[in-house]
């Protein structure tokens, strides 16, 4: 349920954190994890809540390069490629980037998002809208936790 916190308004995160702890079993390992979570994500002056909170944000990746890296690795298809293979893939990727830039310059439609992520985004939006109306934090956390399992 900790991942669900990222989708809530920042001002509700402390109450939600308390709600998570109230409805969690008492367990030494879970307590250790909670201590880590508080230190790393809730009370960290370097990684602030506003940095990881994605309330009302549809683009939620923390590193856009990761997707590109996965794509290039999939195209190369092996862990120790020959330099010729890497150059071939990078040239193909450069051509594709030029193509996308030209489409943007011509105001043409961009790359479409996968239907799965559009549906998940809509589910998140509906859950947050319901929460803003009924303020049922526990139900909201459960719904968001279920969504984060699918992402």
Q: What is the pLDDT of residue 3?
A: 92
For the residues 13-34, what does the mean pLDDT come to? 94
Mean pLDDT score across all residues of the chain: 89
Number of Cβ within 10 Å of residue 33's Cβ equals 13
- Model pTM? 0.66
The pLDDT of residue 14 is above 90: yes
Q: What is the pLDDT of residue 30?
A: 94
Chain-centre distance for alpha carbon 96: 25
Number of Cβ within 10 Å of residue 71's Cβ equals 13
- Are residues 10 and 49 in contact, defined by beta-carbon separation less than 8 angstroms? yes
Residue 91, token pair as written in the block: 């040239």
The pLDDT tens digits of the residues spanning 39-90 come to 999 999 999 999 999 998 866 665 567 888 888 899 898 889 999 999 999 9
């Amino acid at each position: 349920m900790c991942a669900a916190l990222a989708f809530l308004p920042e001002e509700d995160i402390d109450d939600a954190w308390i709600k998570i702890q109230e409805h969690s079993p008492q367990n030494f390992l879970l307590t250790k994890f909670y201590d880590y979570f508080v230190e790393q994500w809730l009370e960290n002056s370097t990684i602030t809540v506003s940095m990881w909170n994605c309330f009302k944000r549809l683009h939620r990746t923390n590193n856009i390069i990761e997707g590109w890296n996965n794509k290039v690795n999939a195209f190369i298809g092996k862990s120790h490629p020959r330099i010729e293979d890497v150059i071939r893939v990078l040239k193909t990727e450069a051509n594709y980037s030029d193509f996308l830039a030209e489409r943007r310059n011509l105001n043409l439609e961009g790359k479409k998002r996968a239907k799965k992520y559009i549906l998940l985004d809509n589910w998140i939006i509906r859950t947050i809208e319901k929460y803003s109306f009924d303020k049922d934090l526990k139900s909201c956390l459960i719904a968001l936790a279920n969504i984060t399992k699918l992402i």
